[in-house]
Amino acid sequence: MLTSIKKHFPIGGRTIKTGISVFLTALICQIFQFPAIFAVMTAIVTIEHTAADSIKKAMVRFPASAIGAFLSVSFYTAFGKSAATYALAAMLTIAICHKLKLDEGIVVATLTAIAMIPDFQGNSFESFLVRLATTSIGIIVSTGVNFFLLPPDYTDKIHNNMNRLFEKAARLNLTISEFVLDQKQNRKQRNRILYQQIIREINQTYQLIAFQREEWRYHRYSKEAFRQLHFCQKKLTYLQQMIDHVGNLQFVQLKKNAFNEEEKTLLHKIFVSIADILKDPEHVISEAHYNRIETLDDEFWHWKEEHIKKAESAEHLPPQTIVLYELLFLHRILEELQRMTHNEHKIEEDK
């Protein structure tokens, strides 16, 4: 049923847990005849990506909320329900929480301080205790729900991201080759957008891996799952190195006939085979690719002599040399990637 709902509505585990937290928080407040609004607001903002984050931030949000409630009571006692009360309560709550390094609790604390003011009636100290109690209920319930119910599992998303990233890296490699070898200037902006998109997704995947590692501190996990995540992180590191070097090529300024046709053909074949290796789940390097790299390596110094006249300044590498260097370095990373992937599959077969 949940799968059917997800097809039509963007309901994920975190959204469901937020709804459950709000329901339980409101129910508890009704049982104790407490106003539910403060507790519910706190419950909504307390659900985090991982149980670990919820526990850490709960330890910060509770004292921060106490500060906000105390300041609200203090300024209400001094100025009543005036504009100055709202302003001072908000400003000092933010300032004190920041000074005490309770930044993760600033939002909850400020909401608590501001929302209390229009609702003050009778005994201010009693209002302070009630608001503190309701905020605590929201924090405790949300933390408990996030810890025990539907613990986050980012492994599938990480694997999907990895597959998509290797596909995009292969595509970037090919479009960069068109820009470098065929001087297709219309590819420049497209390359830059794709490059930035890949970098952004790599950083997001690193974040998901960090979330999953944090989650495993509080929940059981299998050795198999841990091993797969470890290999994913290593692959992501290799991929990031490759993207950095491929990205360097988009800034190379080559003249129109920087390479002759024979050289262009060899370089083009190397770019294509690199893309094929990236798209291959096994990342197997073909014998043909090894032969091309060997040819490129043998010709490296010959090409330098042919293409590069004695430079007036030795501080800058000529553009042809940069292209050759980056391709040779990409091959070295591919060798490491192939070796690691082979080791991963060998471990799986030996189980």
| Distance of alpha carbon 304 from alpha carbon 184, whole angstroms | 24
2 domain-assigned = no
Cα separations in angstroms, 96 against 45, 78, 144, 220, 280: 20, 19, 28, 38, 54
The residue type found at 283 is H
Query: Do 227 and 129 belong to one domain?
Result: no
The encoded tokens of residue 56 equal: 């850490």
**Which of 120, 148, 176 represents a domain boundary (last residue)?**
148
If asked whether residues 161 and 121 sit together in one domain, one would say no
The answer as to whether 264 is a domain residue is yes
Closest CA to 64 of 111, 97, 41, 94: 97
Residues 131 and 168 in one domain: no
* 71 inside domain: yes
- Number of domains making up the chain: 2
pTM of the complete model: 0.77
Query: What range does the domain containing 220 cover?
Result: 155-350
106 and 182 fall within a common domain: no
Neighbours of 135 (CB within 10 A): 29
Q: Cβ neighbours of residue 342 under 8 Å, at least 6 residues apart?
A: 282
End-to-end CA distance of the chain: 36
Q: Is residue 1 part of a domain?
A: no
Residues 236 and 87 in one domain: no
Q: For residues 334 and 277, is the Cβ–Cβ distance under 8 A?
A: yes
> pLDDT tens per residue, the chain (351 residues)?
445 555 555 677 788 888 999 999 999 999 998 888 878 988 888 888 777 788 888 889 889 989 998 999 899 888 888 999 999 999 999 999 999 999 988 988 998 888 888 877 667 778 788 888 888 899 899 888 888 887 788 899 999 999 999 999 999 999 998 888 877 666 678 888 999 999 999 999 999 999 999 888 877 888 888 899 999 999 999 999 999 999 888 888 877 777 888 888 999 999 999 999 999 999 999 999 999 999 888 776 666 665 555 444 444 567 888 888 899 999 999 999 999 998 888 877 666
Q: Taking Cα atoms as reference points, which of 162, 70, 159, 140 lies closest to residue 109?
A: 70
Single-letter amino acid code for the residue at 150: L
82 and 104 part of one domain: yes
246, with CB counted inside 10 A (0-12, 13-18, 19+), is buried
Same domain, 113 and 204: no
